[in-house]
Amino acid sequence: MTDKQVDLPPNYARYAADGSLIINIRVQARSSRLAVGNVKNGRLRLRLTAPPVDGKANQQAIKLLARLFAVAPSQVELVRGKASRDKSFRIINATRIPPNAFIDACNSSGGNT
């Protein structure tokens, strides 16, 4: 573990050999609001307003994850699940893991990005 790696919630994130962060996500596209849900079955749940058409939901997920982990969207990469609700993303240079309190605050404020 390098100096800039931070503690992880044990069941939805892990570090890859190259030091990047791999997170497991469950996406609900076409939701009525943009929100970050709880962790269930080892996956962080994201509710997205974008439709799952032409990669729009994936792009919205990338932008939301970049905001949550305090990185540029170019540092978030979809590595598995392009056409699936279950996805894995790589986050390069992640220096922050959003605490549950932060996730709760996003949901109470409507979760808009």
Largest interatomic CA distance in the chain: 40
Contact indicator for 89, 68 with CB cutoff of 8 Å: no
- pLDDT bin (cut points 50, 70, 90) of residue 39 is confident
What digits encode the pLDDT tens for the residues 78-88?
999 999 999 99
- pLDDT bin (cut points 50, 70, 90) of residue 71 is very high
Rounded to an integer, what distance in angstroms lies between the CA atom of residue 22 and that of residue 25? 10
- Residue 46 in tokens: 């994201």
Is the pLDDT reported for residue 9 higher than 60? no
Domains of the chain (ranges, CATH numbers): 13-106 (3.30.1200.10)
Average pLDDT (46-75) is: 95
**At 53, which amino acid appears?**
V
Radius of gyration of the CA atoms of the chain, in A = 13
- Residue 102 in tokens: 């932060």
Query: What is the predicted pLDDT for the residue at 112?
Result: 46
Is the pLDDT reported for residue 12 higher than 90? no
Rounded to an integer, what distance in angstroms lies between the CA atom of residue 110 and that of residue 96? 21
Is the pLDDT reported for residue 65 higher than 60? yes
